[in-house]
Structure 1
Amino acid sequence: MAADLLFSFDELNRKDKAVKQLEKHFTRAGAAPVSVEVEPRIKRTSGVSYREVSLTFADSQVVKLRIKKPGDIFQVLLNKKVMPLRHQDDHPKAIGEIVKAMDSGRSAFQKRLAKAKVQLPKRMKTSAPRMEKRLEEKRDALKEAVEDARQQLAELKPDAA
């Protein structure tokens, strides 16, 4: 089963047979990836050269698999955190572990996403100040119209009395 997911390091791309099998295993485990990206650059950490395969799921959780030169997975990151696996040699069981960890940490991940503040780009401006100014002008115009109506009413009342 260990040879089940053996990646071709030099020719690793989105259409690789092992990447498609990886998607299939995640779908069978109950977490279908929305997008799969393969990093074209070779990275290096702790003396190990690797390439990354990123799987993004519907709830915005991201699983990154770091693949060494021989074509095997040497590290798994779940939402930017290194995840140790019990069943390293049995890929379907390892994927089941990853999906289970995703399910158990989903609510905490969603809370973290909700707390994250998104800043607007510097060039983008909101219409709130302009909208507020227009509404104030409209309010002032309505106040003037109400005051004019009261004056007209006051002028008509002494005539009626």
Structure 2
Amino acid sequence: MAGKLLFSFDELTQKDKSVKVLEKHFKRAGANVVSVDVEPRIKRASGVSYREISLTFSDSQVVKLRIKRPGDIYQVMLNRKVMPLRHQDDHAKAIGEIMQAMEKGRTAFQKRMAKAKVKLPKRMKTAAPRMEKQLEEKRDALKEAVEDARQQLAELKPDAVA
């Protein structure tokens, strides 16, 4: 990669040229970027103002890049954990490091995702209890119809024999 990858801090959006270049570098490295989100708010931690770029990959792993005011990356988070980089100045090598960490932790990440239980929102209800009640009513109605048919049959049989 020629030169440093610098971001425009104040005008950082998903359509920014440097964000597109970043996405392209990850694709070249072999990662399928599914979505790119840029946090519109400026956050502050440890005396550093930053904005976040979130890259979500096809295997659901998330890389967050924290961009500080001058436009360079000051922190990288992989799946909510801070990731130290050896090659902060060479972005091609840094992306390679991130890719290696993603490969190395993929199986553990997928196991964690498989164990995670997803709760339905409180307002969302399943149709099973209502459907069960309707099916029980239908069953009871059919039982009554069968009983009525048997009674009518029983009434007709003695008349036919006599």
TM-score by length of 2: 0.82
Q: Provide the residue aligned with 1:121 in structure 2.
A: 121
Distance in 2 between residues matched to 1:77 and 1:21, nearest whole Å? 19
Give the drift of 1:104. Answer: 2.2
Distance in 1 between residues matched to 2:117 and 2:44, nearest whole Å? 31
Question: Residues 57-110 of structure 1: CA distance to partner in whole angstroms, max 9, x if unpaired?
Answer: 122211100011111111001111111112222111111111122122222222
* Aligned-residue identity in percent: 79
Distance in 2 between residues matched to 1:64 and 1:105, nearest whole Å? 16
Distance in 2 between residues matched to 1:125 and 1:16, nearest whole Å? 41
Contact 1:31/1:57 (8 A) holds in 2: yes
Residue 31 of structure 2 is aligned to residue 31 of structure 1: yes
Contact 1:23/1:32 (8 A) holds in 2: no
Contact 1:8/1:71 (8 A) holds in 2: yes
134-143 or 52-61, which deviates more: 134-143
Q: Provide the residue aligned with 1:130 in structure 2.
A: 130
Q: Provide the residue aligned with 1:16 in structure 2.
A: 16
Give the drift of 1:146. Answer: 6.1
Q: Provide the residue aligned with 1:110 in structure 2.
A: 110
Distance in 2 between residues matched to 1:106 and 1:85, nearest whole Å? 18
Distance in 2 between residues matched to 1:32 and 1:4, nearest whole Å? 23
Segments of 5+ residues of structure 1 without an aligned counterpart are: none
Q: What value does the CA root-mean-square deviation take over the aligned residues?
A: 2.5
Segments of 5+ residues of structure 2 without an aligned counterpart are: none
Q: Which amino acid aligns with 1:14?
A: Q
**Matched residues, number:** 159
Residue 64 of structure 2 is aligned to residue 67 of structure 1: no
Distance in 1 between residues matched to 2:55 and 2:144, nearest whole Å? 61
TM-score by length of 1: 0.82
Give the drift of 1:14. Answer: 1.7
Give the drift of 1:31. Answer: 0.5
Residue 2 of structure 2 is aligned to residue 5 of structure 1: no
